[in-house]
Structure 1
Amino acid sequence: MSDKDLETRFEEAVELANDMSQESLPQDVQLRLYALYKQSTHGTITNRIYPVYDLRNAFKMNAWMQISHLSEDECKELYIEAILSIAKKK
């Protein structure tokens, strides 16, 4: 286990993710990462704030809604684990 706090590890994972190519990831993985990031940084989604005008955004909002029961800290941990797992495979 790392001595770094959760926020520091999350920020490092976000930086690592920013250096990755999205095209190399399956769409379900991209959606999962999107949802975890949004739940980590914005909390639970509300439809009033995020209207859906196209299919792409509908999938993104659906992915976010599916994990809305998780806390921001839980999502940060899951996001970190996912990014590190992807980085190890490359």
Structure 2
Amino acid sequence: MKPFFSALSAWSCVVISFFAVIILTVLGILFKSNHHAFTGSEGSPEDGGAVAGSLFTAVLVYVAFFVFCGFQAWLHVRANRRGAISLH
């Protein structure tokens, strides 16, 4: 199977998705627990659980990106081991 995207794009997507999952998960946990720094002021959302639900949905999307892009990166690594891709 051939990769759809370049190796640089695949690895960039893997790194960005990894950090997005971590950051959005932490934010989701803080909103779900109604942490005062995120829900304590007048301009803050009143329903922290709804915001947390949206954040966790975004986490699932980024997990899917991570898996897909990781598969693409793995295809590049596998192809490079066999010498199928040569840029010389």
Task: State the TM bucket, normalised to the shorter chain.
Answer: 0.3 to 0.5
Task: Report the TM-score when normalising by structure 1.
Answer: 0.32
TM-score, with structure 2 as normaliser: 0.32
Q: Determine which structure has the larger helix proportion and give its number.
A: 2
